[in-house]
Chains A and B, each alone.
Chain A
Amino acid sequence: MRIVIVDDSGLRATVLEEGLREAGYEDIHVVPPRGAFVAKLERMAPDVVLMDLGSPSRDTLEEMLAVSRALARPIAMFVDQSDDAMIGAAIDAGVSAYVVDGLRKDRVKPILDLAIRRFNAFARMQSELDEARTALADRKTIDRAKAILMQTRGLGEPEAYALLRSTAMNQNKRIVEVAEALITAHSLLGGQP
């Protein structure tokens, strides 16, 4: 069974491809939705196409599926009306799947289940990464604000941090917000940012 993954995100495509390989599928191709990607897809004659639901190129893909004369068998969206929960899970996870006409449901379901799990795992990874990035950026901001306090008020590092923290508590703000305000005020007053 030939599976084509159409995805802009190289990382998500890799995560999905690995999962499919582990599950024993071998004929897997990744195509980014750019340029003449539909012609490439047509030549591959896939049995299953997996695509990010958020990709703006879904309309381009569906047009190809509607008009292609090159595909031996029509491909349509995998829809099993009897399984609303699965459709909901796929949409929530951001997966869309197109399946060649005549492919049995029990052969497609494991692929879609796996794609849903992998897409969800990728989304979790992404949000953890975002959180880590934010945490790092916050720490840098707080460090700069501490440096300003240490320099202008002659405080030690623990005192500077304590001052930021107590100010934040009194104003019911996050420490990073107080730090940002301090950096802005400092540069407005002519200090080095």
Chain B
Amino acid sequence: MTPLSAAFLPLTDSAPLIVARARGFAEAQGIDLTLVRTTSWATLRDRLVYQQVQAAHMLAPLAIAVNLGLSQQPAKISAPFKLNVNGNALVMATEFAAALDPEPAKRVRDPEATAHDFANAIGLYKRKPVIGVVHRFSSHALMLRYWLGYAGVDPDRDVTLRVLPPSFMVEALRLGEIDGFIAGEPWNSVAVAEGLGEIIAAGVNIWRRGVEKVLAMRTDWMEANSDTVDRLLVAVSQAAAWCDDPANREELALLLEQPEHVGQPAEWLLTALSGQMVLRQGDGPVDVPDFLLFHREAAGFPWRSQALWIYSQLVRWGMVKADAASEQLAGNVFRPDVYRRALGAAGVPMPGASMKLEGALAAPLPVGAHQGALTLGPDRFFDGAVFDPDDIAGYLAALAHRTE
């Protein structure tokens, strides 16, 4: 058995790592997997960078930011696997939400109209809205910025983004320290259940296939331990498939409920797993399809174009200066070559390409795959913009032009 430690944060999308251990997928691959529960992204990053663990459940933008030297000590880390796709929602205080469409389901289904309504609501609100985000380099923050930017809202000027741990969001909303927040489940559902806020947008409806957490590892360790890496990827990929199977939902929720895992009541965890979201206290659940994906449509495949989309957003919001070296560094964080090597023999459908246009699919599309049949789901951005990884400057110019 190869001993291997992996750090995670207690969130629903840590499921593939937890299942890899608890259901024996790691053991079957000869890996003695130890999970290290961590309470902040900073500590998870430090444990990985300083080699206290070999792998980590990491925010995809944070993995890129560490390589670019934007988050404390620069280090080379790689993401050969995506742990999930989607899973976030935006909650706003009831008082703020009152200025939006009265029908919560319509707000979530029509993010274009809701973005415009949101922009108008800012002026009507008692103060500049303070919105909680889990981290500067989180998919959540980038998605919120993208959505606000569409309606001409400057996220650095017209609202205040405040970084708070997800578990503090509900309390901060209760105390009036924030007026809303974007986070992963179960925190959105908790805020709704307590009548403090309403879910007004779901990540899946902003970018239909949004990058979320990756399995990150130090690049030097990954390259020196290819056999272990391959076995780990097989185990986590099998675990992700298990997590995606609706038949396992209840068991998964009960597993995540345990205090050493996520440590929240199973009923709260089930909402994200089933996509049955209660948007406002007292309302019935609304079906939000594809709220969270673990495995289907090769969800784990780390498209380099997705890493570059994240890079484009870091440039857009002035977090990094655009240059060819940074672009190359960011794109290389995602390692489809390692994914192919590890899972090629495991019978996982394998995309033929490593880059694609992001946001070009309005409907499911069967694509070229090396083995098995692979259908990619619709991956549109809500505003219809298409990201061409070969023309980042053109993409950013078009976005800037539109909001002028």
Contacts and interface: CB of A to CB of B under 8 A. Distances in A.
B263 to A, nearest CB: 13
A57 B52 contact: no
Interface string B30-51: 0000000001111100110010
Contact of A59 (B50, B73, B134, B177): B134
A62 B39 contact: no
A53 B163 CA distance: 17
A55 B52 contact: no
Contacts of B72: 62, 76-77, 79
B167 A96 contact: no
B136 A63 contact: yes
Nearest to B168: A56
Contacts of A88: 50, 52
Interface string B134-154: 111000000000000000000
Interface in A75-92: 76-77, 79, 81, 84, 87-88, 91-92
Interface in B146-171: 162-165, 167-168
Interface size class, chain A: 20 to 34
Nearest to B136: A63
A190 interface: no
Interface in A50-103: 53-63, 66, 76-77, 79, 81, 84, 87-88, 91-92, 96
A55 B40 CA distance: 7
A97 to B, nearest CB: 11
Interface size class, chain B: 20 to 34
A35 interface: yes
Nearest to B52: A91
Contacts of A58: 40-43
B73 A60 contact: no
B159 to A, nearest CB: 14
B100 to A, nearest CB: 28
A56 B52 contact: no
Contacts of A62: 42, 71-72, 163
A84 B168 CA distance: 33
Contact of B165 (A36, A57, A84): A57
Contacts of B43: 53-54, 58, 96
A63 B73 CA distance: 15
Given A62-B72, A77-B73, A91 B50 contact: yes
Contact of B40 (A36, A56, A79, A87): A56
B403 to A, nearest CB: 22
A58 B38 CA distance: 11
Contacts of A77: 46, 72-73
A59 B40 contact: yes
Given A56-B165, A60-B163, A88-B50, A35 B135 contact: no
Contacts of A76: 72
Contacts of A96: 42-43, 46
B72 to A, nearest CB: 5
A145 B223 CA distance: 59
Contacts of A61: 42
Tell which of A62, A87, A88, A96 has the most Cβ of chain B within 10 Å: A62
A95 to B, nearest CB: 11
A63 B163 contact: yes
B87 to A, nearest CB: 18
B361 to A, nearest CB: 34
B7 to A, nearest CB: 11
A25 to B, nearest CB: 24
Contacts of B52: 88, 91-92
Contacts of B40: 55-59
A81 B50 CA distance: 10
Tell which of A58, A59, A62, A77 has the most Cβ of chain B within 10 Å: A59
A59 B41 contact: yes
Interface string A1-43: 0000000000000000000000000000000000110000000
A139 B310 CA distance: 58
Contacts of A56: 39-40, 165, 167-168
Given A55-B39, A58-B43, A87 B165 contact: no
A56 B46 CA distance: 14
A66 B136 contact: yes
Contacts of A57: 40, 165, 168
A91 B47 contact: yes
Given A56-B40, A56-B167, A59-B42, A35 B177 contact: yes
Contacts of B73: 77, 79, 81
Question: Top 8 closest A-B pairs, CB basis?
Answer: A56-B165, A63-B163, A58-B42, A58-B40, A56-B39, A77-B72, A79-B73, A59-B40
24 contacts: A54-B43, A56-B40, A57-B168, A58-B40, A58-B41, A59-B41, A59-B135, A59-B165, A60-B163, A60-B164, A60-B165, A61-B42, A62-B42, A62-B71, A63-B136, A63-B162, A77-B46, A77-B73, A79-B73, A81-B73, A84-B50, A91-B47, A91-B52, A96-B43
Interface of B: 39-43, 46-47, 50, 52, 71-73, 134-136, 162-165, 167-168, 175, 177
Given A56-B167, A79-B73, 5 more contacts: A58-B42, A59-B40, A60-B163, A60-B165, A77-B72
